Amino acid sequence: MGLRAYIAKRIVYMIILIFLVASFNFVIFNMMPGTTLAKYVANVKGKMTPERLEKLKQQFGFDKPLHERYLMYVRNMLTWNFGESYEARRTVEEEITERLPITLVLMGISEIAAMIIGILLGVIVAHKRGSTLDTALVTVSLSTYSIPIFWIGWLMISFFSIRLGWFPVGKITPAWWATNPPANIFEDIGGRLYCLFLPATTLFIFLVGGWILLTRAVMLECITEDYVLTAKAKGLPDRTVLYKHVLKNASLPLVTSIALTFGFLIGGAIITETVYSIEGMGRLVWRAILTTDVPIMQAFFYISALLVILANFVADLIYGVIDPRIKYG
């Protein structure tokens, strides 16, 4: 099977998966207690004009039988029409566009930092297997990996924010902006990053151990291969051997993991954002779950799954670039 046929096959899989996810969303959120329109209407009675209610009904097809509603729902998902949030009474799109940047910056910074530093450290400890550094780093990774993230957050807040007073808590922009707004773009970015420092560090601590361990494990599987010995025998410098020969061969599982982190990107912030009370996507989703705000949940699960599916697809293609031995098929 050639590359084209392979891509075609993967695309078919993708479509099936997307369809499955969308259907699952429909089923599970229709099963959840307290999501029927009747209950919802009872909640918002008087707060909403009849026209608006009518519009909502039409949009979600609440007046129609289940199968028609399902078709309508699939159409809505495919056309990126997520409807209106039950609670905030704004469109889901508005809610998401407002909060997504915060979460993306938070998760992006910590994920990327954890990934880069974790992989680098993993390569180093795999190279120096059995050394003190190896033992120390592996032990530290194993322990940070086992600490609940909210607990790390509490410790960080208690020490850095409350004891030392270095960082603000529960804010996404510095307090001094109220009187002294940022003069230029750099101050703007700097101020925001400063406020996200603690949560990002918390996430980083939580994530980096996993990357170190994973990289170390996959490196060790390759480091004993004969071609590594050959490369060394040729007189290549250690660094070249490690990064060009071992890491490149070992990187397939890493690519898979990177693809899977896309799923963690939006949803992974629930706990961190709750600890630091940052109003990002995580909090939005958490509140949506608590209040059974179906449109938001559906949109979130759909987008989140879509991201992972696409990332997996890209990862599959990258495999071929990294490892030419892989025959698509």
Partner 1 sequence: MAKRKDKVSFTISRFKGFWDQYKESKRGLIGITIILLFGVIAIIGPSITPYDPIRPRMSGYYPGQQPALAEQLCVPVWYKNLPGGQNISENLKVVPDHEFTSKEKFEEEWSCMYAPSQYNITVRHSETGGNHDNDGCIEISYKRKSDEPAPSNVSIILTKEFEYPFHAPPKSIWMHLSCFIDNKTTLPKFPFAMNIRLRRGNEVFPVMSWHEITSDMIASRWWHDKGKTAGPVGDIEEKIFTKAGNYTYEFELIILDGEGEEKDLTIYLDNVDMILYGNAFGLLGTDNEERTPRDLFTRLVHGTRVSFIIGLLTAFFSILIGLTVGLVSGYCGGAVDEILMRFADFMLVLPSLPLLIVLVMVLGASIWNIIAVLIFMGWMGFSRSVRSMVLSLRERPFVEAAKASGGDTFYIIRRHILPNVFALVYVSLATAVPGAILSEASLAWLGLGDINVASWGMMLYDFQQTQTALVRGIGEYWFWVLPPGIAIALMAMAFILMGFSLDEILNPKLRKRR
Near partner 1 by CB under 8 A, which window of 30-38, 41-49, 108-116, 236-244? 30-38
Residue 328 falls in which region: left (phi positive, over 0), alpha (psi -120 to 50) or beta: beta
CA distances from 260 to 220, 236, 253 (A): 22, 34, 11
Contact partners, residue 244, CB within 8 Å, separation at least 6: 231, 236
Phi and psi for 273 in degrees, rounded to 5?
-65, -30
204 binds partner 1 (CB under 8 A): no
Binding mask 263-302 for partner 1 (x = CB under 8 A): xx-xxx-xx--xxxx-------xx--x--x----x--xx-
Binding mask 119-138 for partner 1 (x = CB under 8 A): ----------xx-------x
- Pair of tokens at residue 70: 């399902």
Give yes or no for a contact between 259 and 271, defined as CB atoms under 8 angstroms apart. Answer: no
Cβ proximity to partner 1: between 182 and 263 the closer is: 263
Cβ proximity to partner 1: between 33 and 50 the closer is: 33
Near partner 1 by CB under 8 A, which window of 56-64, 71-79, 114-122, 160-168? 160-168
d(CA 266, CA 284): 10
Give yes or no for a contact between 206 and 144, defined as CB atoms under 8 angstroms apart. Answer: yes
Which residue is it, tokens 């170390």? Answer: 216
Q: Which residues bind partner 1 (CB under 8 A)?
A: 13, 16-17, 20-21, 24, 28-29, 31-33, 129-130, 138-139, 142-143, 145-151, 154-155, 157-159, 161-163, 169-170, 217, 220-221, 224, 260, 263-264, 266-268, 270-271, 274-277, 285-286, 289, 292, 297, 300-301, 304-305, 308-309, 312
